[in-house]
Structure 1
Amino acid sequence: MLLIQFLNALQFSMTLFLLAVGLTIIFGLMKIVNLAHGSLYMIGAYIGLSIWSYFDSFWLALIFSPLITALIGAFLYNILFKHIQNADPMKQVLLTFGLIYIGLDSVRLIWGTMSHSISAPELLSKSIILINDPYPSYRLFVIFVGIFVLFCLYFILEKTVIGAKVRASVDDPEAARLLKINTDKILFYTFSLGCGLAGLAGITVAPILGVEPGMDMEVLVLTLIVVVVGGPGSLKGAIVGALLIGFVDSFGKVYIPQLAQIIIYAVMALTLLFRPDGLFKR
């Protein structure tokens, strides 16, 4: 039973990581808290639902849903986000908060208000036995996706020239421009990647949580807490924060459900008190 709960917590942590890593990198580069990030998670799930329904292929949905969500992110960047990067923080919050309602109404208009479900692919539809307890193989797949994305991002950011340019743009944008780094292009591609990762999170967890209007708000607050605890702009902070909040939430709801939410906010409050810039400041 403890192993099953551990894996459930790890699976939820990987979902939070997929959401938080895009948000934290965007904040690190642009200093914008994109409150509409959860909406892209929801839209990614709905796009995946449409692809799955039409082609009867979860794998096509898994591939194309993040790509289409990234294109939506690129569109939003060009028409809105690059223009509000240096705006007053309150204006940024109000504009991105408005996008939440635009996303919600768009989903209701296109897909309706009913809840939907997506079946896991046949390859991952069965359970495996772990120490005499069955465990859904699809949840293990979600864990694998999160770990795979973590290692890919680590390699890109730490071991490639592109990653060095991204890190330079986060650490000191002015110095990066003096070094002839095209920070505008870095911002564009990084923002699009972050949105694509939100879409990936949406379609990945759809077979577990389902697809419904408002699903974005269920994870947005926890995602923001992960970013605050881990430290904006930090890949290490995103994974550590996701693991911390994911495990506290999962185990708390099982063993002390009355205090689970209180503990999460207490963790955030203590982090802000002793490490205002997060556990891993970039």
Structure 2
Amino acid sequence: MGSIVITGAKGQLGQQLLRVGADQSLPVVGFDSATLDITDAESVRKAVTPGSVVINCAAYTAVDNAETDEAAAFSVNEAGPRTLATVCAELDARLIQVSTDYVFDGTATSPYETDHATGPVTVYGRSKLAGELAVHEILPTASVVRTAWVYTGSGSDFVSTMLRLERERDTVSVVDDQIGSPTYSADVAAGLLELAAYPAPPATLHLTNAGQASWFDLARAVFEGVGADPDRVLPVTSAEFVRPAPRPAYSVLSGAAWANAGLTPLRPWRDALAVALAKCT
């Protein structure tokens, strides 16, 4: 295996890939949007070499803004992966495309398998699905890896926000009718790097920490994890927090395909959260 090229290297997952890769003494190299335009083939050709593995973490992730900025969302989330796949095919390089639970409609009641019918209901979801389809069409050896509810515990992610609100407010209201799998970015990074060394990966995989929770459950777990009273977190419905883009009511992703491929399943989400909180508090 040649170098491991990380796009979107300044995002939370990209940063973790660089950190975990360095810890494992892997040949990781990172590019952000200022140093690599993933929609420009010539720019990509300068970053990718034959035999390398590209892990594409670059994405337009402003879910609400995408509803009124469709062109920008599709440029990054569809045209970008299409260009990466085209260049990887030319250079005999591998591509791992990071995708999202938003490619599903959120109406399931049991974990989504990799072959479950997609049906995105947001511009963001449609743009990410378009990226998946482009990658599969152009580079059949590529792997699409869907993840969800990713946090690090810093910046503006959900866990970091709960830590801040715990310090600032007496109570915090959090929706309890959206169910998913809270997923620690460092664990996703380790999984993606394991996949990068895998000789014949499946075309589509799901990668999240094990188990499921509502945002309300996760917020309570954050409060408990820092010794605060979890009853300060109050449940509300999604109807009380209307957003421009609807959130999936249920977006738990099954890890069966990942495990069946012989890859290491991620630990339970509560165990991962404990580790994350220990690092950021």
Q: Which has the higher strand share?
A: 2
Q: Which has the higher helix share?
A: 1
TM-score with structure 1 setting the length: 0.25
Pick 1 or 2: higher relative contact order, CA cutoff 8 A, min separation 6.
Answer: 1
TM-score with structure 2 setting the length: 0.25
